[in-house]
A and B are shown apart, each in its own frame.
Chain A
Amino acid sequence: MTKREMRDERRAARQAAERAELAKSTQRKRLARLGGAFVVAAVAIVIAVVATSSGDPKPVAKAATASTTSVQESNGVLGDPNAKYTVTEYLDFQCPICKEAAASELPTLIKNYVDTGKVKLQARTLHFLGDDSTTAAKFAAGAQAQGKFWPFLETFYANQGEENSGYVTDDFLKDIATNSGVDYDKAKAFAKTSGAQQALDTADSDASAIGADSTPTFTLKRGDGKETVLTVGPTGLIDALNSALSA
């Protein structure tokens, strides 16, 4: 082998080694980029799954009782509009005691007094517990405009969340509306009107007039007479009503 041939061979070997090194380096970069992309993608999936799981509204159950769905409702008044007596409940959608009262007292009230035409039942939606109360009360005014206030209230109670946790979202309201026969879009639109605000203002002024400062407060009125407090709290409504009507 001549010197020239040996020089050419060394150059070729050096260039081959450089190409091999370049190939290895490029492959390392490719693997690093792909690995990075897979890691980012995996992290994104985990974040999305966790966010979805924690953000899911809890499954909506049906109303605890179906006591209100079969009764005539007009403008939020349950029962015969010409009934001699009016029972008014001052409530807050977020109030757990109101939920308790709805389960323990309202079925009997409806069965023995509303269904028989002796009493008509209406609600005043207070909203002092927080923003979730206000959101729910305004939406409920929209349900009331559709003649579905009480089924909506019952279904809401059956799915009541942690107070002021921000659970009264559009999705939550949509689920409650769907399960109580309320047209969500119409109720949502109504909730933005002055009519919805007026319902809240009326509740506030009526509560102030009779001194109702906690929920639930139940009052009784005969015809256009004076409204008086029957009971405050989750129990005792039926007994108090029996006494008042037999007096």
Chain B
Amino acid sequence: MSRAAAVTPVAAASPRRPGLRAATLVVALIGLGIATYLTIVHYTGGAPVCAIAHGCETVQKSKYAEFLGIPVAVLGLVGYVAILASLLRDDETSRTATAFIAIAGLAFSGYLTYLELFTIHAICIWCVGSAICMLLVTVLSVTRLLRAPVH
């Protein structure tokens, strides 16, 4: 074995991970679907179809349904669109952008979940679904960034 082969394990162990990018794309599309549904419900004034009592309606019609005057469903929609846009390219900047947006989205989802549990005292299953999607996107995008090859 040559010395050159012995000192290049990092590059050899860092293959591209198209599976991670595809998985991120799928999860982000699911999140986008949820956010789109909640946005439509918000603007049509209806109540979301909800599996747990009337928690969705309680959350959707609470004052916390808007953040700085913007419906949180719209913020989620924008977040998922931004994540999908960042997935269009596969370079260091795009991978970093995906991870950053996902981390910000996860933080916001965490805050909203806190509000549901401790302030509104109602659970919106759609919001929980979106938070889980954002958690998965964060894990996938961070893993993808850390495992990306170095050129």
Chain A positions within 8 Å of B, measured between CB atoms, are 9, 12-13, 15-17, 19-20, 22-24, 26-27, 30-31, 33-34, 37-38, 41-42, 44-45, 48-49, 52, 56, 171
Contact = CB atoms under 8 A, between A and B. Distances in A.
Contacts of B115: 52
18 contacts: A12-B2, A15-B4, A16-B8, A19-B11, A19-B150, A20-B8, A20-B11, A22-B150, A23-B14, A27-B150, A34-B103, A34-B145, A41-B104, A41-B107, A42-B107, A49-B111, A49-B114, A52-B119
B70 interface: no
Contacts of A33: 96, 100
B52 interface: no
A98 to B, nearest CB: 29
Contacts of B96: 30, 33
Contact of B3 (A9, A24, A49): A9
Nearest to B103: A37
Looking at chain B's contact residues, the main secondary structure is helix
A42 B114 CA distance: 13
Contacts of A17: 7
Contacts of A22: 150
Nearest to B105: A41
Interface in B106-128: 106-107, 110-111, 114-115, 119
Given A41-B107, A49-B114, A52-B119, A9 B146 contact: no
Nearest to B101: A37
Interface in B1-52: 2-4, 7-11, 14
A20 B7 contact: yes
A9 B7 CA distance: 12
Contacts of A52: 115, 119
Nearest to A41: B107
B8 A9 contact: no
A107 to B, nearest CB: 32
Contact of B103 (A12, A15, A41): A41
B142 A13 contact: no
B99 interface: yes
B126 to A, nearest CB: 21
A33 B103 CA distance: 11
B63 interface: yes
Contacts of B114: 45, 49
Contacts of A23: 10-11, 14, 150
A45 B2 CA distance: 52
